[in-house]
Amino acid sequence: MMALGDEMKQILSVAHSLSGLQADDFEALRAIADEAQPWAEELESQIRDLLRSHEVTAPYAETYLNGKPAEWFRSLFEIRDAQEFLHRQMNIAVEHVREGVPNEVVLALAPRWVEWMTAKAAQTLGYEKSQEIAVIMTRVLNLAAVVMIATYDMVVRRTFIRETGFSEALLKRLQTRTLQEIADEMKVEQAAAAAAAA
């Protein structure tokens, strides 16, 4: 199995390389910090309300982003080092594993942050600036989500290997053996859902 430090570096390298994140993205966010940071509590409230509005997501209202979405949002406007930012997202992913916050919550909420922040920026900074910020925030939040999800997967896999004593090669063999069975079961479930909806 790859050393933990090497796997962390690989996750960050791949995610950063493909994200489109530009050197001056965080500089642009720092430039609007005075205007944007006061939005934190309102955006946190919107996120919590959205999570609480659905029975299946309500349990994550207090654990998503360590229960501190406003603090996480404010931190976006203080970043001077992309690596530090990415390490913070990795650390949040570990806490998400600990608290049972699933990756679909992270993925589904990333565009909502962009949507709501763009609306606030349009009110405060004007339409043109809000569109520029929307593009930057899309890159930043997508990268954050990718790093969190990849780290989540890494942590769960490594935990399983350490706790069972299985080698990574054995885990891959077990996965390969079981994949077709799961794929077939999924098709049956999907067909049943489609028939029920018809």
Burial group, residue 84, by CB count within 10 angstroms (0-12, 13-18, 19+): exposed
Check residue 148 and give its pLDDT.
Answer: 96
Check residue 2 and give its pLDDT.
Answer: 85
Residues 116 and 43: beta-carbon distance below 8 Å: yes
DSSP assignment letter at 137: H
Q: How far is CA 77 from CA 26, 74, 92, 93, in A?
A: 7, 6, 18, 20
Q: 151: helix, coil or strand? A: helix
pTM here is 0.87
Residue 9 has pLDDT above 90, yes or no: yes
Give the mean pLDDT of 40-63: 97
Residue 155 has pLDDT above 80, yes or no: yes
Residue 102 backbone dihedrals phi, psi, to 5 degrees: -75, 160
Distance of alpha carbon 102 from alpha carbon 57, whole angstroms = 10
What are 71-105's pLDDT values in tens digits? 999 999 999 888 999 999 999 999 999 999 999 99
pLDDT above 90 covers what percent of the chain? 88
Residue the block writes with tokens 């994949």: 179
pLDDT above 70 covers what percent of the chain? 100
DSSP assignment letter at 21: -
Check residue 67 and give its pLDDT.
Answer: 96
Check residue 177 and give its pLDDT.
Answer: 85
Q: Which residue has the higher pLDDT, 198 or 10?
A: 10
DSSP assignment letter at 54: S
Distance of alpha carbon 186 from alpha carbon 130, whole angstroms = 42
107 pLDDT tier (thresholds 50, 70, 90): very high
Distance of alpha carbon 150 from alpha carbon 69, whole angstroms = 20
Residues 164 and 157: beta-carbon distance below 8 Å: no
Q: Which residue has the higher pLDDT, 73 or 172?
A: 73
Residue 35 has pLDDT above 90, yes or no: yes
Check residue 174 and give its pLDDT.
Answer: 86
Check residue 117 and give its pLDDT.
Answer: 94
Q: Which two tokens stand for residue 189?
A: 């479930």
Task: Name residue 198's amino acid.
Answer: A
Nearest to 146 by CA among 39, 22, 11, 50: 11
Check residue 81 and give its pLDDT.
Answer: 86
What are 14-23's pLDDT values in tens digits? 999 999 998 8
